[in-house]
Copies of this chain bind each other. A is one copy, B any other.
Amino acid sequence: MKATIYDVAREAGVSIAAVSQVINGKGKISEERRQEILQVMERLNYRPSVIAAALTGKKTYTIGLLVPDISNPFFSEIARAVEDQGDHRGYSIIMCSTDNKMERAERYLSLMLQKSVDGLIIGTGMENKEALIKLMKSIPVVMVAREAETNLAMQTVIVDDFVGGSLAARHFLELKHSRVAVLAEKATVSSSRERIRGFRETLVQAGHALAESRIKACEDDLLKEGKEKALELLQQPDRPSAIFCCNDLLAIGTLRAAKELGLRVPHDVSIIGFDNTILATVTDPTLTTVAQPTELMGKMAVDSLIQKLEGQPPAEERVVLRPELIIRQSTAVKE
């Protein structure tokens, strides 16, 4: 069996209180006793139980991370950054893929609460405002890469999606594309909405319109549905000469649709993605995409959460990072 604090105390001939003190480095203890106890701990290969400590009010040093899908490269990159910074600060990460399903998200949230995680990093939509508000009363939360759907004050680390969409539109305009379309995630995904808004507004300012029929949204399997919807867009009368995709996965679906229709990218149709995941660098052609500072976002989210956990003065509430357009081969001047 694993050694407990009692075993250590007995072996060392002291009280458990003494042992607890050396574990936590608090209280007064003679250096002599401390060393003795330390040795016994070593000998017994003793490791204090986080569970037991948590029961007395200490933290579990565990953070819950909610994302739509850990196997989506964007989120696995976020997850890696979160894990690294968490580890660095002494916290472990429990991962939860919600598939953008509110039901899954809520089940996971309730579970995280039961498991007494110290805090939550949420990178998935939270449509249920009330649930979020209630949640925040019981546990510190920071949003990452997604906006909270409430007007509640809450820590958020995000990229400026509006600007991101605008960047994409401007690039298309510079390349003389005005007959454009958008492939997005479903409307409940806040980041997609903002990206579209930025995209459209920039278009409108330049005197162009973006009809609703030129926007298609995908529910679930981004790759598969993305291709299907892209196929629809590319077969519309007066085919768009450029498509803005709200993430790299969708852009790949579009790439495939174009190929299937015998359209050349960027010659016949230009494509812009979003996220700048590893995928964007390996496709054929490589993807012009709007980059998010993934690593930084993960790191800042963790720091922001831990700051809250440790009761330090909250830092900036909203951190809005700048997206950046990475121009590769999937975009070109309109023929």
A residues near B, CB below 8 A? 2, 47-52, 54-55, 60-62, 69-71, 73, 76-77, 79-80, 83-84, 92-97, 110-116, 138, 223, 252, 255, 278-279, 282-286
Contact = CB atoms under 8 A, between A and B. Distances in A.
Interface centre among A51, A84, A112, A252, by most B CB within 10 Å?
A51
A129 to B, nearest CB: 18
Given A94-B93, A97-B83, A282-B283, A60 B69 contact: no
A51 B47 contact: no
Nearest to A47: B114
A96 B95 CA distance: 10
Nearest to A71: B80
A70 B60 contact: no
B60 A51 contact: yes
A49 B95 contact: no
Contacts of A76: 70-71, 73, 76, 79
Copies in the assembly, this chain:
2
B70 A83 contact: yes
Contacts of A51: 51, 54-55, 60, 115-116
7 contacts: A49-B55, A51-B116, A76-B76, A76-B79, A92-B96, A92-B112, A95-B95
Nearest to A112: B92
Contacts of A2: 113, 138
Contact of A80 (B54, B69, B282): B69
Contacts of A73: 71, 73, 76, 278
A115 B283 CA distance: 42
A70 B95 CA distance: 11
Contacts of A223: 278
A59 to B, nearest CB: 11
Contacts of A115: 50-51, 60-62, 92
Most buried by B among A2, A79, A278, A283: A278
A94 B97 contact: no
Nearest to A116: B51
A42 to B, nearest CB: 13
A284 B186 CA distance: 29
Nearest to A249: B278
B60 A80 contact: no
Nearest to A2: B138
Given A2-B138, A51-B60, A60-B51, A84 B97 contact: yes
